[in-house]
Structure formats: structure tokens, C-alpha cells
Chains A and B, each alone.
Chain A
Amino acid sequence: MELKTHIISTIVQHKPGVLQRVSGLFTRRGFNIESITVGESETPGLARMTIIAKGDDKLLEQLTKQLNKLIDVIKVRDLEPTNIVQRELCLIKVHAPEERARSEIIQYANIFRGRIIDVSTETLTVEITGDTNKIDAFIELMTGFGIKELARTGPTAMSRGPKTI
């Protein structure tokens, strides 16, 4: 069957061990997690988890059902990829000892609506948010200068419009 990337949004109890229960399920059922983000949700005590994972539809169905069985998992939804907003945060530390490189990086950052959040004599650190493609594109541009360090959060997502999960 065809492997597809799925964006699974879940509401879980904000408790220790829950991330382990969720990620353990993925490992056990042979589903590859590309990224997983967790943080507080609109409701105190509940967290929202966004899981990006690759697999065929049958495996995904099994996984969603298994996730639903976890007592700490309250809601699970496979988001429709065409109708979502998703953002990822990326911090990139770029090699920039010379003036020319610096001004170029600053220009690029502006075009991508990034921000310079740290400066040293040898480096610039850029913060950029956006969907995965945009971040990939920015990283590609920075590669030429020499990326010294890079940290990405993985996407977090929700449906467009008034719909909630």
C-alpha cells in the first residue's frame, strides 16, 4: 500500500508518561514517527500533541484506534492535509564572519520573515517559522554560508476555520 504522510492531532492528559505511551505505540506497531510536538492546549490539564508519521492507510487506521484505546488519550484526529494550518519553528546558527555574508543573511531572513535573534563576531542566529517547505527552502539557502547548528521543532497543526478536533 501507498505510504502517506499523516498529520495526527491528539488531545491527551498533560501527565508524565503519556508521551511514552503514545510513542511506544508507534514503535510497537511499526509506524515511523517523523516528528512529535507536545504542549499545553486551551484546556488546563490537557495537552495537544501533533504527530507527523508515515504509513499506509490500514496501519494508520489501526494506529488511530490503538491511540484511542489509551486511557490518557482523549481525542485523536487525522487532519486533512489540504485544510490545515501548520507551523514549525526553526533556529539556525549560520557561519558569518564577514560583513558581506552578514548582510546577505539578514536580507534572506527578512524575505522569509525570519528574525535575527542572536549575533556574535562569527555567527548569526535566525529564528524562522512556517510550514515545512518554507523552512526547508530557507535551510537550503543558508547551507552555502555554513550552518553551524540547527534545531527544528517539527510541525504543530490544526484545522482551518471554526472546526476543532
Chain B
Amino acid sequence: MNGGQAIVQALLDEGVETVFGYPGGAVLPLYDVLYDSELKHILVRHEQCAAHAADGYARASGKVGVCMATSGPGATNLVTGIATAYMDSSPIIAIAGQVATQLIGNDAFQEVDMLGITMPITKHSFRPNNPNDIPRIIKSSFKIARTGRPGPVVIDLPKDIQEAELDEYINRPFKLPGYKPTLKGHPLQIKRAVNAIINAKKPVILAGGGVIISGASKELRKLAKIIRAPVTTTLLGKGSFPEDHPYSLGMLGMHGRKVANLTVNECDCLIAIGCRFSDRTTGNIAEFAPNAKIIHIDIDPAEIGKNIEVDIPIVGDAKKVLQDILKILEKKDINSEKKEWIEKTIKFRNKCMPRMSFDKEIPLKPQQAIKEIMETIDDDTIVTTDVGQNQMWMAHFYTSKKPRKFISSGGLGTMGFGFPAAMGAKMALPEEDVVAVCGDGGFLMVSQDLATLREYDIPITICIMDNRRLGMVAQWQRLFYDERMSHTHLGEVPDFVKLAEAYNIDAEKVEKPGEVKEALKNAIKSGGPTIIDIVIDPMEILPMVPPGRGLTEIVGEYKVETKTIKKEKVEGE
């Protein structure tokens, strides 16, 4: 068995079925093995898409996504995708070819210091210098990528090591004495947290991506119900708590919901779970949750106290910690004042529900487009977004009900993420419908991969929120730069329907209310890849908190739904 064969075998041993990649000289030995392997390889049209697809695969399924590329330019094309996965704690493994061991350091053809380049954006990295280590490296990589706080692992793979013969295939992970994630929360801290929760009059829960990663949604719902706390989420926490639940406030932060921002501002106890207090979530930290005792539960000790001073830190896995907290709480009598708080919050929430119905307006309002998307797809449909206004409209208006169904690039804010991530998600969960919502700018960064979509017949629907603008940047220019629209107008090219035609992909342009619904219904029914070019109002902006300001300082017009909302029970669930 040679190194290449050992890689494929080790991947199969880990249960990998699909990898996304692009070949080249330095990974030829590995690709030669792929030729007659049962591992499914998806040939993307740009390595960045391989990394994003692996990421989408991981986020949708909770499994590890795998991508591969050749050395040098192939490897550097993976970098944006690796950084994206790192910022959002997504477990991917990136295998990059490297020039032969004896050439390393010589500025050989297509040599780049991939380990050096990716050190700050990986959880760990490996370079085997002995083919016998390959199975152990793969095994260890999977362990590191998916346990503790998940993250990307890079394997830098010299060509000669892929070719060299193994003496023995030993498939046990390395001993990793420096790697011991803390899973169980400290009992004393848990007790302190419970006391703080019981004594609070106005508790709020802030749920982040960690809740989804640890599978703690059930526990989260229980906690909210017992202590009658409204729940807001970060962007990555979207779906950790059903957003149609009366206790849900939607997303918090710069582009979050008004009700969430104002409620967090008022709360006296903030229970933050699996989130990292990004500046996009907190606004100006000096003004964040000014009256609250803050409890922070996170598996990564380095996140605690990094951005926000915390009163009660608990390091541990969200699910385990919540279970321990619930065990104590369930025996206690929770004070009745909290009932008033949740009632008041729900009333307030209903009063500032953002408006979504614009059923007559042309150009289409993005809110209306999202409403129609929502009315067409079901709770199990996976939606990915790109980055920009399209993403924030989705985060703001789209009601996500289940974990792992809303996939978006948060920490890095990577344009070009939505479409390849949707491909990856569909490969992971072929039974589920997958819809990518993209901006026209972001989609064009990766549109070459329409070829991949057609070639492998991956039936996803791409909704392009077509405003012929770099919408989010244009929004900032309108709000903060005196309407000096410097280089954010995209012009009229391309014609997305014709572009799709070139790739032999079905496409439709929609411009009127009602048409999105119709087109999306047909697209999903068609069972093939489809593009819907949704022409929307380019002037529409989303209210936001200006950078550096406190969460209460929302600018931009906040249109509120005036239709009466049905009365909701406090008990929830």
C-alpha cells in the first residue's frame, strides 16, 4: 500500500463518502488512487468552492467535510474556505499536495508554505514525513476537527510521501497529550449560574452556533420554558431555537431585530450559550447588556472573557452544561415575576414585528421575496445564504425552525460562500431540499461552479437577489458615506438566465409579487438544478446599528407589520 492508497483507505475508514477537490501535479499520486476508489470525488471548478462545499457538507450534517487540492495555487485557493470554516467552527479537513520532501524549501515549482500560511486559521495541521504515519494523521485530524470546539485541519502532503510504500497500516490516532477539551461544566459554577437565573427578574438567553454544534436545542427549549426567558440568537445560532416560538426574539446585533436588541439592553441576566460575543452581535461592548449579570457557557475557555467581561463563566459542552443546569432547576420553584417579563416581552415583540408583506410593490421588496420563499419551502429545507444584504435579510426575516437548516458565513463574511455551501449540503443530505439565497455580486464570485452543478446533477435552487448592486456596501455608503456610491454599482451584465443557459441549467427571471413562490415551487418540483433571478428593489435597506454604536441606536426606517398577530400563549411549546 502506498501513501495515496493509505489516505483513501483512512478516509473510508472514517466513513467519508464524498470529497470535493481539484487535481494537479503534486496530488497526482492521490488522484491516481481515486481513479478506482469507491470514494466519490466531486470535481469543482475552483478550489475555493471545494472548501466551501466541504464546509456546507459539515454544517448541514454535523460530519466532517473533506476537500483536496494540489500544491501552490491549488492550496492557496483553499485558504479563504479554510478561514471561513475556522471563524465559524466548522469541521473540515483540507488535504493539499506539496512538492516532494527533498524539494521543500527550494522554491520549487508550485511550492508554497501551506502550513505557514494556514497556521493562524486552522485548529491544527500535519505534514507527514513518513508514509506509515498517514493513517494516524488522518484519524487524528478527524478527531481534532470534530471534537471540542470544531475547526479545520490542514494536511500538507508531499508528493513523494503519497508515492512511498507503507510498512504497515496502523490506524490508531496519535496520543495527543496537549488536547483535552473540557466537556463537563464545573459544578460550583453551575450552582452559581442557577442561583443567578433564579434571582433574575428579566432573564434573556443568547444562543450561538455552539448550541447547534453540541445538539443542545432540546435543552435550550426546556431552559427557556422553565425560566420563562425570551431567546435571541447570533447569526450562527439561528435555528437553535424555533423562531416561530412565542419566546423567540430572532437575531441579535448590528443587523438583528429591534426587539432582540432592546430586550437584551433591558435584561438583568443574560445567559449566553455557545457564542463568542462577536462585535456584530454586541455592538459597542461598553453599552452591551448594561444591567445584566452575564453567564457565559462555552466549550472554548479562550472565548470566555475575550470580548465581554463575564460574571459567571462555565467551560463545557453546551448540551452537558444545560443538562446539569436543568437537573437543578427542575427541582426549584421559579419566581413568578418572570411571567410578567415574558408577557411584556411577547407583547413588545408582536408590536415590532418587521413588515414582510409588500404584495403589490414592484420592484419586488426583498422582504416579500423572502416571505414567498418561506411560504414555499418546509421546515426541513436547508437554506444557505451568501454574504451581504441577502444574508441579513434572510437572517432578519426568515423564520428558521430547526438546527442545521440555516447555513451562512458569519465570522469571515465570505462572499461566494452560499452557492458552493449549498452544493455541499445537498451532497451530505440528498433527501432534503436545498435553497441557496445569494446576492448577485457574491454569486458571480463562484458562478463557474454552475458547471459542477450540471455535471453531477446536484438539484439545488439558487435564488439570486438581483439588485445590480453590491447591496450591503451600497447600504453603508448611503447611510454613512454621504451617498457617495463608490464602485458598488454592478451594471447590467450578465443576464443570469442566459448564463444559466450556457451551463444548460434551467433558469427563470421573476419580477412581480407572487412569482418567486411559483418559480421556487416549480424549481423544487423539477428535481434538477435551477436558478431564479429575483429582481428586487435596489434601494431597499435594512435598519441597522451603525458600527461602534450601542444596540439600541438603530438607524434606518423600521417598517412594522400592522396586521394583527394572533394572541400567543405564554407557556409556549
Q: How far is the CA of A69 from the CA of B127 in the complex (A)?
A: 19
Sampled A-B contacts (19; CB under 8 Å): A12-B178, A13-B178, A17-B115, A17-B127, A20-B119, A21-B119, A24-B119, A24-B120, A28-B120, A58-B305, A61-B305, A62-B302, A62-B305, A62-B306, A66-B302, A68-B301, A71-B123, A71-B124, A71-B178
Q: How far is the CA of A74 from the CA of B176 in the complex (A)?
A: 9
Q: Are B305 and A69 in contact (CB under 8 A)?
A: no
For the complex, is A88 an interface residue (Cβ under 8 Å from B)?
no
Q: Are B301 and A65 in contact (CB under 8 A)?
A: yes
Give residues 54-100 of A contacting B (CB, 8 Å): 58, 61-62, 65-66, 68-74
For the complex, is B300 an interface residue (Cβ under 8 Å from A)?
yes
Which residues in B have their C-beta under 8 angstroms from that of A68? 301-302
**Residue of A28, A65, A70 contacting most chain B CB atoms (<10 Å):** A65
Determine the residue in chain B with the shortest Cβ distance to A70: B178
For the complex, is B177 an interface residue (Cβ under 8 Å from A)?
yes
Give residues 150-177 of B contacting A (CB, 8 Å): 176-177
For the complex, is B428 an interface residue (Cβ under 8 Å from A)?
no
Known: A17-B115, A20-B116, A24-B120. A72 touches B178 (CB 8 A): yes
Min C-beta distance of A33 to chain B, whole Å: 16
**Interface magnitude class on chain A:** 10 to 19
Q: How far is the CA of A61 from the CA of B307 in the complex (A)?
A: 12
Q: Are A73 and B178 in contact (CB under 8 A)?
A: yes
Interface 0/1 of B122-136, CB less than 8 Å to A: 011001000000000
For the complex, is B144 an interface residue (Cβ under 8 Å from A)?
yes
Known: A17-B115, A21-B119. A69 touches B302 (CB 8 A): yes
Which of these, A20, A28, A74, contacts B177 with CB under 8 Å?
A74
Interface 0/1 of B296-308, CB less than 8 Å to A: 0000111001100
**Residue of B116, B120, B177 contacting most chain A CB atoms (<10 Å):** B177
Determine the residue in chain B with the shortest Cβ distance to A27: B120
Which residues in B have their C-beta under 8 angstroms from that of A12? 178
Give residues 247-272 of B contacting A (CB, 8 Å): none
Q: Are B301 and A74 in contact (CB under 8 A)?
A: no
Which residues in A have some Cβ–Cβ distance to B below 8 Å?
12-13, 17, 20-21, 24, 28, 58, 61-62, 65-66, 68-74
Min C-beta distance of A29 to chain B, whole Å: 10
Determine the residue in chain A with the shortest Cβ distance to B178: A74
Give residues 478-524 of B contacting A (CB, 8 Å): none
The 6 A-B residue pairs with the shortest CB-CB distance, nearest first, are: A65-B302, A74-B178, A71-B124, A71-B179, A73-B178, A65-B301
Determine the residue in chain B with the shortest Cβ distance to A28: B120
Q: How far is the CA of A13 from the CA of B123 in the complex (A)?
A: 16
Min C-beta distance of B117 to chain A, whole Å: 11
Determine the residue in chain B with the shortest Cβ distance to A12: B178
Determine the residue in chain B with the shortest Cβ distance to A17: B115
Which residues in A have their C-beta under 8 angstroms from that of B179? 71
Q: How far is the CA of A12 from the CA of B119 in the complex (A)?
A: 16
Which residues in B have their C-beta under 8 angstroms from that of A24? 119-120
Q: Are B302 and A71 in contact (CB under 8 A)?
A: no
Determine the residue in chain A with the shortest Cβ distance to B179: A71
Q: How far is the CA of A70 from the CA of B115 in the complex (A)?
A: 14
Min C-beta distance of B551 to chain A, whole Å: 23
Which residues in B have their C-beta under 8 angstroms from that of A65? 301-302
Determine the residue in chain A with the shortest Cβ distance to B304: A65
Which residues in A have their C-beta under 8 angstroms from that of B116? 20
Determine the residue in chain A with the shortest Cβ distance to B174: A71
Q: How far is the CA of A21 from the CA of B446 in the complex (A)?
A: 32
Which residues in A have their C-beta under 8 angstroms from that of B144? 71
Min C-beta distance of A38 to chain B, whole Å: 16
Q: How far is the CA of A151 from the CA of B450 in the complex (A)?
A: 60
Give residues 301-324 of B contacting A (CB, 8 Å): 301-302, 305-306
Determine the residue in chain A with the shortest Cβ distance to B307: A62
Min C-beta distance of B129 to chain A, whole Å: 9
Min C-beta distance of A23 to chain B, whole Å: 10
Q: How far is the CA of A78 from the CA of B123 in the complex (A)?
A: 23
**Residue of B115, B116, B127, B302 contacting most chain A CB atoms (<10 Å):** B302
Interface 0/1 of B96-127, CB less than 8 Å to A: 00000000000000000001100110011001
Q: How far is the CA of A62 from the CA of B277 in the complex (A)?
A: 15
Min C-beta distance of B317 to chain A, whole Å: 16
Min C-beta distance of B313 to chain A, whole Å: 11
Q: 5 more A-B contacts (CB under 8 A) besides A20-B116, A65-B302? A: A12-B178, A65-B301, A70-B178, A71-B124, A74-B178
Determine the residue in chain A with the shortest Cβ distance to B306: A62
Q: Are B300 and A69 in contact (CB under 8 A)?
A: yes
Which residues in B have their C-beta under 8 angstroms from that of A20? 116, 119
Which residues in A have their C-beta under 8 angstroms from that of B300? 69
Determine the residue in chain A with the shortest Cβ distance to B153: A71
Min C-beta distance of B306 to chain A, whole Å: 6
